[in-house]
């Protein structure tokens, strides 16, 4: 009798543990039909591309740059702050440079990797939200979006630099991390 009870309890615990793991995985990953968010808060990448593969990282980096450029272009007309406009112009230049460097790094790779800069659902929603704001409302939302985007980009760069599958892209990620950390600190200081 004791053995049967022990087996029944053990089976129940194992079943609940297995369900709990699946529930946590479902709770930590937000999926759409074409995009998937990583549960570590890093940049998101298309579902078919692992963020630690060359293709997945290239897609995430390209989308991150595109988000920065597009959201910063909005600041030229929607912001009321000279500091925000100045920061936004720096972001446009820096992320255009980053995109060019990424493409250059990818240019000599075999097999070839072509980055897909399609924004993920979260980036698109943030950009759409910014489009509806002006003045002080825009400035506050833009600052929040910049802090969030740069933190996620920094996390993804550091993650890929430590665990990525391509040495050239790992070097790219390591080299870009300090710049992104600087952008993050500047965004946090925006007034």
Residues 96, 149: one domain? yes
- pLDDT band at residue 31 under the 50/70/90 scheme: very low
Residues 3, 37: one domain? no
In sequence order, what are the beta bridge partners of 31? 36
Neighbours of 50 (CB within 10 A): 16
Residues 37, 78: one domain? yes
- pLDDT band at residue 49 under the 50/70/90 scheme: low
For 100-121, what is each residue's pLDDT tens digit? 999 999 998 888 999 999 999 9
Total domains, the chain: 2
Residue that the structure tokens 């009870």 belong to: 5
Q: What average pLDDT does range 68-94 have in this prediction? A: 96
Residues 172, 94: one domain? yes
Residues 35, 20: one domain? no
Question: Which pTM does this prediction carry?
Answer: 0.74
pLDDT at position 6, please?
34
- Between the two ends of the chain, the Cα-to-Cα distance in Å is 70
In sequence order, what are the beta bridge partners of 45? 36
Least confident window among 28-32, 51-55, 103-107 = 28-32
- Percentage of the chain with pLDDT > 70? 74
Q: Which of 70, 51, 77 is nearest to 119 (CA)?
A: 70
Residues 21, 43: one domain? no
Residue 163, pLDDT above cutoff 60: yes
Residues 97, 43: one domain? yes
Residues 148, 115: one domain? yes
Residues 54, 119: one domain? yes
Domain that holds residue 150: 31-189
């Amino acid at each position: 009798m004791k053995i049967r009870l022990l087996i029944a309890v053990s089976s129940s615990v194992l079943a609940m543990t297995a369900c709990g793991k699946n529930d946590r995985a479902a709770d930590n990953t937000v999926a759409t039909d074409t995009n998937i968010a990583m549960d570590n808060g890093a940049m998101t990448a298309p579902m078919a591309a692992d963020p630690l593969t060359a293709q997945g990282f290239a897609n995430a980096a390209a989308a991150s740059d595109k988000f920065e450029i597009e959201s910063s272009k909005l600041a030229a007309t929607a912001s009321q702050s000279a500091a925000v406009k100045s920061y936004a112009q720096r972001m446009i230049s820096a992320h255009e440079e980053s995109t060019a460097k990424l493409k250059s790094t990818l240019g000599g790779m075999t097999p070839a990797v072509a980055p897909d800069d399609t924004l993920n659902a979260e980036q698109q929603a943030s950009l759409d939200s910014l489009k509806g704001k002006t003045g002080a409302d825009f400035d506050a939302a833009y600052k929040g979006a910049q802090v969030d985007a740069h933190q996620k980009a920094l996390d993804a760069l550091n993650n890929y630099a430590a665990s990525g599958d391509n040495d050239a892209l790992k070097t790219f990620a390591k080299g870009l991390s300090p710049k992104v950390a600087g952008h993050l600190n500047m965004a946090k200081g925006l007034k």
